[in-house]
Structure 1
Amino acid sequence: MAPVLARVDSGQRDPHRNDGGVFRNRERLLPQRPGGYYREYVIRTPGIGHAGPQRLVVGQDGELYYTSDHYRSFRRIR
């Protein structure tokens, strides 16, 4: 996960179309915030030829959430 955090902090983007895009929290598993508060970033899974299920979701106040199952569950990391 460290490489993804470094990429996010440096402003680099993954080629996936949603990388860096607004995460809308439609699942309502994260704290409710105004629209545009959360951004999502792809965590590439070795051996998978597409973006895979892993994502990092970042809030405007710096909180970080990890999902390994494409938004079915989240774990707060910061």
Structure 2
Amino acid sequence: MLPNGAAQARESVAMPVVRLAELPPEAVKTHGLILSGGPFAYDKDGSVFGNRERLLPREKRGFYREYTVETPGARNRGARRIICGGKRPAAPEACYYTADHYASFRRIVE
């Protein structure tokens, strides 16, 4: 049995990655807002993401927070999100992008 940290490292290696510069401009903007602490357009931004889909590495509840990525032409929040995890929201340990409302994720790398 692997120690918890080793299991998490293995899970994050298997996660597909995307470079920040390859994301839509709205996602780059949202990522910048996350790092600067906001302000965010939606009340739900910064709320706890439960990882119910279990597609992200397992962490204690409250580790992950979700943020809306604007979708041009959408009348609501749309399906695009950035999920970041860490002890301090403005200094996340890892961020993930989903364009399909949590059906898949890619880890954001600089």
Q: Does 1:63 align with 2:89?
A: no
Q: Deviations over 1:8-52 (max 9, x none)?
A: 111114332321000000000001001100010000100112110
User: Quick one: distance in 1 between partners of 2:102 and 2:84?
Assistant: 13
- Paired positions, count: 78
**What one-letter code is carried by the residue in structure 1 that aligns with 2:93?**
G
Larger Rg: 2
* Residue pairs, 1:1-78, within 5 angstroms: 1-60=27-86, 62-78=93-109
Structure 1 residue ranges (4+ consecutive) displaced by more than 3 angstroms after TM superposition: none
Task: Identify the structure with bigger relative contact order (alpha carbons < 8 Å, sequence gap 6+).
Answer: 2
User: Quick one: distance in 2 between partners of 1:40 and 1:71?
Assistant: 10
Task: Specify every segment of 5 or more residues in structure 1 that has no aligned partner in the other structure, as ranges.
Answer: none
Q: For the aligned residues, what is the CA RMSD?
A: 1.2
Query: Secondary structure at 1:6's aligned position in 2?
Result: helix
User: Quick one: distance in 1 between partners of 2:80 and 2:96?
Assistant: 11
**What one-letter code is carried by the residue in structure 1 that aligns with 2:50?**
R
Task: Specify every segment of 5 or more residues in structure 2 that has no aligned partner in the other structure, as ranges.
Answer: 1-26, 87-91
Give the TM-score taking structure 1 as reference length.
Answer: 0.91
User: Quick one: distance in 2 between partners of 1:72 and 1:17?
Assistant: 22
User: Quick one: distance in 2 between partners of 1:9 and 1:31?
Assistant: 21
